[in-house]
Amino acid sequence: MNKCYLKIFLVGLLALGLASPAVATGLRPAQKALKGKTTRAAKLRTVRGKRGVADWSVLTYMQADNNLAPFAQFNAREMQKAAIPPSVNVILEWDKPRDGKTWRYKVGRGTLTDVGSFTGAHDLGYNPVQEVIDMSTWAKSNYDARQWCLILWNHGYGVIDPGLRAINKPLPADRLANVLPCFPWIRIPGLHSKERGILFDDTQGTYVTNTQLGQMMQGVSTAIGQPIDIVGMDACMMAMIEIGYQIKDYARYLVASENVEPGNGWNYAGFLGHLSVDSASWTPQRLASMIVQQYGIFYQGQDNSITMSALDLSQMGALKDNVNQLVSAIAGCSRVNPTQTRNLILTARNAAIEFDVTDYIDLYSFYNALATQISRKIIRPATKGLRPGKVKVDTVFSNAAQVVQTILVNGMQLIDRAVIANTAGSAFRTVRGLSIYFPRGAADPSYKYTKFAQDTSWDDFIATY
């Protein structure tokens, strides 16, 4: 069950008392996340005090005050499987359902050490932006490191911001525990939700908008005194050009998924185990790539619809410029022949790879489809002097289309440089690791507030096509 659709499905399932036929997608059985004692029953110690500077600090803000709570327990246990050395700080700030407390743990092999859990004026999740910044400030003072990885753990819905609805209300824990083991393989065909964002808290009714995400990363970067080496989003559909562009000034690499994630999330035992061996040798690029690799290994042969990629955020500015150039060049084509231009764009959009939320498409696949259309219908016939059907190709339009073609080729090269690691199941074997918002209907009103939309003409383009 993916993190995005789990809650919607369970509400419908419990209301109707039945389930649609299951579609096998390879999610590890959800009951694995429910076996054994919860992480509160793990070995706990309480310690405080300043440490020396480690090679890495891996901070996870685990927003589990929702119906992903059982999967939080599973991931916390997975973290404890690694033989984490003193040179690596693995810190977990955990919002558990409706307990009014902020839990802070240092993770070790088989242990969760309480390093400053507290009860504040508000339950965790009341102001997630400030809470992540405060966690980073505290970690800098107590668990300093040369390199930093920040993981945001929760539901994720891409670049469009939602209005919270009653569907986000948590299910009773006993009913959730009874349902999950019975239907670990189900996805809901044809389900489409307009809810996006990240870090949803059901008790507080809060989430982080994409504008706030940029503010959060700026605050974290200031708190630790450097750009964040890796921002990881253990959440659905966050490997988008718009998300990367939003945080590019405050982080070096982004690890996220183009598509929905299974409920069990990342392979924490896998990548932390590798990091724990000679931690000083792990550069941000190498660790980001390892997270992607281990994710693919975790679900290999079990889920054919997974995606995960690592993005070099230093390439986001060049990609933004390329998208702007493309929009401008397409406008030039449209001035010569608007009907043929529109047909080319819509054909390429139909050929592009969509994800479970079909407003999101793989950017490379769109570029490649449009380049193919231009080559077949414009450039090749122009070279021969004729189009199929014996109609001459307009030379002015052909020249304008060749400008578009050049920009597309450059863009595909930029995507390949930006995506430093990529893994996908067989259902998405040709995706390249970076998506973009391209709805078939009207754009969501929140899109215009993203930094990418404000700095490009892409919002005008999708409004036109």
> Which residues of the chain fall below pLDDT 70?
1-51, 121-126, 155-157, 160-207, 382-393
- DSSP assignment, residue 376? I
Looking at domain 6-314, does it have CATH number 1.20.950?
no
CA dihedral 291, 294, 298, 300 (to 10 degrees): 120
Looking at residue 209, its pLDDT comes to 75
Question: If residue 402 lies in a helix (H) or strand (E), which one and from where to where?
Answer: helix 395-418
Rounded distance between C-alpha atoms, residue 275 and residue 406, angstroms: 41
Residue 183 pLDDT: 27
List pLDDT tens digits, range 61-77. 998 877 788 899 999 99
- Per-residue buried b or exposed e for 404-436, using 16+ beta carbons within 10 Å of the residue's own CB: bbebbebbbebbeebbbbbbbbeebeebbbbbb
pLDDT value of position 97: 82
Task: Count CA atoms within 13 Å of residue 316 on its CB side.
Answer: 28
- By the 10 Å C-beta count (0-12 exposed, 13-18 middle, 19+ buried), 239 is classed as buried
The confidence score (pLDDT) of residue 446 equals 86
Predicted confidence at residue 340, as pLDDT, reads 96
Residue 126 confidence (pLDDT): 67
pLDDT, residue 313, reads 98
Token output for 195: 């809810």
Find, among 404, 378, 402, the residue nearest to 391 by Cα.
378
In 3-state terms the chain splits into helix, strand, coil percentages (rounded to 5) of 45, 20, 35
Q: What is the pLDDT of residue 384?
A: 61
- ∠ CA 65-23-67, nearest 5°, is 5
pLDDT at 291: 98
Task: Take residue 17 and report the two structure tokens written for it.
Answer: 């008392």
Q: For the residues of 197-246, what is the DSSP string, one character each?
A: -EEEETTTTEEE-HHHHHHHHHHHHHHHTS-EEEEEEESSS--BHHHHHH
The CA-to-CA distance between both ends of the chain, in Å, stands at: 33
Among 100, 102, 112, which residue's Cα sits nearest to residue 42?
112
Q: How far apart, in whole angstroms, are the C-alpha atoms of residue 254 and residue 242?
A: 12
Quote the pLDDT of residue 56: 98
pLDDT in tens, 413-426: 999 999 999 999 99
The reported pLDDT for the residue numbered 253 is: 98
Query: What's 149's DSSP letter?
Result: E
Residues ≥6 apart with Cβ < 8 Å to 425: 26, 299, 303, 304, 305, 306, 307
How many C-beta neighbours within 10 Å does residue 384 have? 9
Query: Would you call 347 exposed, middle or buried from its count of C-beta atoms within 10 A (0-12, 13-18, 19+)?
Result: middle
What pLDDT is stored for residue 171 in this prediction? 33
Q: Where are the domains of the chain?
A: 6-314, 318-418+435-464
